[in-house]
Structure 1
Amino acid sequence: MRRALRIALVATALLPPAAAARAETLILSLSSRRVQITQSYTGAELVIFGAIERDARSVARPGPFDIVVTVKGPRGQTVVREKTRFGPIWVNLEQRKFPLAPSTLSVLSSRDLVDIAPPEMQKRYGLGLANALGADNAEPRFREALIRLKREQGLYVENPRDVTFISGDIFRAPVPVADTAPVGTYEVTVSLMSGGLELTREKTSFEVSKAGFEQTLSTAARQHPWLYGSITAAIALAFGWLASVIFRRD
């Protein structure tokens, strides 16, 4: 009996503090779990609805609840090159590879991140664009360049105060999906914060896929690459010949 009690106490002691003292949970719902890219697609917006559920162990928190939503698109290798200008030409100097960089990245929060948690806690929990990229050996200037370039393309977005509380424990957050967003699975992580600490987090996901004529072309290119390439080349030649006939000068 004593041995069993000792084992139970040791197991409890080994639990992470958040798990042992967790008194809140998150319940999430997406307005849609699929975004379809059609010929007229110009971008979309999903809405995350969430509720904070408390149990009997809930205690008074030193500050208000805050929500941070991080949405990561399909991962892939991204190369950032440093260039310099020699006269009329640009020359590549150094480059860094980000093998698992998210193709798109959105960070939405109920307040400015600096007001939610100090920088060291943001790094610990992966909050913010730079921290959400994950650990790697890239120099800060290359990480900053990657974020800057992606932001200019509209693929990396940080919107503080985009998460709004409808009532005390119910919130909503609009999730933008860019018109250039790639197809694949998008990971959504919602962190519940209070007093600079993460109380709990919950994950969900949605899919971006092609539909209609775009899906037909994508399937044909994937399943019959040689036939697809031949037809594409033939169409290009036909349009080139037709243009030469129309604009030919006698």
Structure 2
Amino acid sequence: MARLLVFLLLFALPAQAERVVLGLSQDEVAITANFTGSEILIFGAVRRETPMPSDSTLGVIVTVSGPSLPVTVRRKDRRLGIWVNTDVVEVDAAPSFYAVATSGPLEEVLTHVEDLRRSVSIPRAIRSVGADISGTENFTEALIRIRSASDNYQLLEGAVDVEEQTLFRTEVVLPANLTEGDYSTRIFLTRNGKVIDEYQTVIPVNKVGLERWLYELSRDNAPVYGILALIIAIASGWAASAAFALLRR
């Protein structure tokens, strides 16, 4: 009897009407010695099991988040003619890279409650729970401003193209100063600002080739790495001096 009730309950639940089917232009990003950044094309479609709703417009949000790490944010004030650190806030975790691409204005495709629940917007992706300094939001805003200037934080409103409320695509440009690790990619489908489906995958970002060898050498054998760096510096200086002397002749 119990099994029959469970079966009837599951049968009575409505099937999820719209789901994400995702595609990526590349499954991983390789950081080489001459790495200058990368561009990832994120595309997909909406799979429907019921007719498309006619009373609302489909919204699509794509987020790409790098590894989250603690960050120390300092505030400088002028004291006796000298700029000194006055206040310090320890941010518990902030993504090293974070991009939010939307099919329209963020406040229109996602409600405030959904943002609180899923941490979609850039400020919500930063956690600063333990800070006890008044005006902590100013430190968070400063962190966002600094990282936005270097393209490590990106708000791309209207950058997701949606065709016939079924196909969608967007491009996210990764800067050259990427932090190695797994980059979480999330896609949200929304209607009336509420999330109706979510899909998540991971894009690995790793150093390869000479960059990987130098990185591992610096971690595993620091003395050898230091000697090698010194030899390279001396050789570079000697080569520059020789080239300059040759030009003067």
* CA distance in structure 2 between the partners assigned to 1:61 and 1:134 by the alignment: 38
For 1:79 and 1:135, locate their aligned partners in 2 and report how far apart those are by CA, in whole Å. Answer: 11
Corresponding residue of 1:213: 210
- Aligned counterpart, 1:233: 230
> What percent of counterpart residues are identical?
31
Deviation track 1:47-103 (CA, whole Å, cap 9, x = no partner) reads 0111111114x5625311111111111221211111111243211111111232110
Q: Is the 8 A contact 1:82 1:95 kept in 2?
A: yes
State yes or no: 1:38 paired with 2:32.
Answer: yes
- For the residue of structure 2 that corresponds to 1:32, the secondary structure is coil
Contact 2:91–2:127 (Cα < 8 Å) also in 1: no
The whole-number CA distance in structure 2 between the counterparts of 1:59 and 1:136 is 41
Give the secondary-structure state (helix, strand or coil) at the position aligned to 2:36. Answer: coil
C-alpha change, 1:166 and 1:222, in structure 2 (3 Å) is farther
In structure 2, the residue matched to 1:88 is 81
1:161-172 maps to which residues of 2 (within 5 A)? Answer: 161-172=158-169
The farther-off stretch of 40-49 and 192-201 is: 40-49
Question: Structure 1 residues 135 and 99, CA, compared in 2 at 3 Å: closer, same or farther?
Answer: closer
- What is the rounded CA distance, in whole Å, between the counterparts of 2:173 and 2:154 in structure 1? 9
> What amino acid is aligned across from residue 101 of structure 1 in structure 2?
A
CA distance in 2, matches of 1:242, 1:63: 67
Contact 2:111/2:194 (8 A) holds in 1? no
Mapped partners of 1:238, 1:41: distance in 2: 24
* Corresponding position of 1:108: 101
What is the identity, as a one-letter code, of the residue corresponding to 2:92? P
State how far apart, in whole Å, the 2-side matches of 1:210 and 1:176 are: 18
CA contact (8 A) 1:126 1:134 kept: no
Q: Provide TM-score, normalisation by structure 1.
A: 0.83
State the partner residue of 2:23.
29
Per the alignment, do residues 211 and 191 of structure 1 end up closer, same or farther by CA in structure 2, a change over 3 Å counting?
same
Q: 1: CA distance between counterparts of 2:74 and 2:56?
A: 43
CA contact (8 A) 1:125 1:198 kept: no
Contact kept? 2:98, 2:152, Cα under 8 Å: yes
Change (3 A) 1:8 1:137: farther
Larger mean CA deviation between 167-176 and 184-193 belongs to 167-176
> 1:107 corresponds to which letter in structure 2?
V
Q: 1:8 to 1:134 in 2, by over 3 A?
A: farther
Matched, 1:140 2:140: no
- Using the alignment, how far apart are the partners of 1:169 and 1:135 within structure 2? 37
Matched, 1:127 2:120: yes
CA–CA distance in structure 2, aligned partners of residues 148 and 184 of structure 1 = 23
Deviation digits for residues 89-121 of structure 1 (CA, Å, limit 9, x no counterpart): 211111111232110100000001012133333
The alpha-carbon distance between structure 1 residues 213 and 234, as it changes in their structure 2 partners (threshold 3 A), is: same
Which whole-Å CA distance do the structure 2 matches of 1:29 and 1:87 have between them? 58
Question: Contact 1:70 / 1:189 at 8 angstroms: preserved in 2?
Answer: yes
Question: Residue type of the partner of 1:131?
Answer: R
Identify unmatched segments of 5+ residues in structure 2.
Answer: none
Q: Which sections of structure 1, spanning at least 5 residues, go unmatched?
A: 13-18
Alignment check: 8 A CA contact 1:121 1:197 kept = yes
**In the alignment, what sits opposite 1:192?**
189
TM-score normalised by length of structure 2: 0.84
Aligned residues: 238
Structure 1 residue 171 displacement after superposition: 0.5
Q: Distance in 2 between matches of 1:27 and 1:105?
A: 22
Aligned to 2:63: 70
Tell me, in whole angstroms, the C-alpha distance in 1 between the residues paired with 2:39 and 2:239. Answer: 41
2:176 maps to 179
Deviation at 1:209, TM superposition (A): 2.0
